[in-house]
Amino acid sequence: MTNRVTVIGSLNVDTILEIPRLPKPGETLAMGDQSFAGGGKGSNQGIAAGRAGADTHFIGKIGDDANGKFMVKSMTDSGINVDQVTVTKEAKTGQAFILLDKNGQNSILVYGGANQVLSTKDVDNAKDIIANSDFIITQFETPLAVAEAAFKVAKDNNVVTILNPAPAQEAIPASLLAVSDLVVPNETECQTLTGVEITDEASMIKGAEKLHAMGAKGVIITVGSKGAFYHTADGNYGFVDAFKVNAVDTTAAGDTFIGALSSQLKPDLSNLAEAIRFANRASSITVQRMGAHPSIPTLAEIDAAEKAAK
């Protein structure tokens, strides 16, 4: 059965600046190259879900500009339904400027633009789409009030909610966490939310338990090239190792993980470990390629990588 996934979130055009290292204050540094690609945490997650086989809808906002048209084409080329991606004249389409060093690590500057114009009215207009989904995903590159409104519609219709609390924010409304079935932070975001420094399994358990106490029913803490830790409210937990590859660009790795996860996960979370393994495999492909949208793998590529590893 194909999972029906709705993503509500950001759409950004990425400008990728390849540099040997981050410049020091006041320093001028020569770039190796620059390129452009579709991105934004929301659209990355939507494309990852769609390419991994989910029936995917997207709710978002773009500006009345060439970047907006570029983003819509990037989404539709991956089979994403963009009927609820609307145009605003209040702001330009979101943009991100990615500083990518020679080791594949990145630092990112984000202009929210039209993403910040997304409103609860957009949620109202998409109620039927949300209600008919198996999963809904959101992040923190659009207003928190919009995320909470969407998740409340989801919970009224028994739709599983997946919250990616990124970029990290210290103050998240308890009312949002209360309607979040699965919270998926990385180790830095988990520390920001809980105050627990993630260093080992004991700290992961402590961080997850704090998130449960805040209202989250399930928790996945991603720890980059090491893998992902999961913990459910009933005390089931474990760690799923990542696949070892040579990373060239970690942009969209976490987003690929979440989108791919949603394409395979069962609504009762009963196959959580297996879905995480699939998501790890998808992310391992993403980090071996440049850019956000261009790096996200298809289901055929994920299956081929799995078969080649056996």
Q: What digits encode the pLDDT tens for the residues 146-173?
A: 999 999 999 999 999 999 999 988 888 8
Q: Is 12 annotated as a binding residue?
A: yes
Res. 230: pLDDT tops 80: yes
Residue 289 known to bind ligand? yes
In a domain, 195, yes or no: yes
Contacts of 188 (CB under 8 A, 6+ apart): 168
Read off the pLDDT band of 135 (50, 70, 90): very high
Annotated ligand binding at 28? The verdict is: no
Nearest to 280 by CA among 269, 268, 272: 272
* Residue 104 resides in a domain: no
Is 223 marked as binding a ligand?
yes
Q: Is residue 184 part of an annotated ligand binding site?
A: no
In a domain, 160, yes or no: yes
> Among all residues, which ones are annotated catalytic?
255
Q: Is 13 annotated as a binding residue?
A: yes
For residue 250, the model assigns a pLDDT of: 85
Asked if residue 250 belongs to a known ligand binding site, the reply is no
Question: For 185-216, what is each residue's pLDDT tens digit?
Answer: 999 999 999 999 999 999 999 999 999 998 88
pLDDT at 168: 87
Nearest Cα to Cα of residue 141 among 99, 109, 178, 174:
109
| Three-class DSSP category at 14 | strand
310 pLDDT higher than 80:
no
Provide the domain limits for residue 126.
4-11+39-93+114-309
Instruction: Note whether residue 240 is domain-resident.
Output: yes
* 3-state secondary structure (DSSP) of residue 162: strand
Please tell me the pTM assigned to this model: 0.94
Give the residues across from 96 on adjacent strands. 14, 110
Asked, for residue 107, whether it belongs to a domain, the answer is: no
Residue 234's domain is classified under what CATH number? Answer: 3.40.1190.20
Position 28 pLDDT exceeds 90:
yes
Instruction: Check pLDDT > 90 for residue 235.
Output: no
Whether residue 81 is contained in a domain is answered as yes
Domains of the chain: total: 1
**Residue 47 to residue 44: CA distance in whole angstroms:** 5
In a domain, residue 30? The reply is no
Measured CA to CA, the distance from residue 198 to residue 189 in angstroms comes to: 10
Give the C-alpha distances (Å, rounded to integers) separating 69 from 37, 75, 168, 221, 285. Answer: 13, 10, 29, 34, 27
Say if CB 197 and CB 189 are below 8 A apart: no
**Residue 106 within a domain:** no
Q: Is the peptide bond before 167 cis (omega within 30 degrees of 0)?
A: yes
Is 113 a residue whose pLDDT tops 80?
Answer: yes
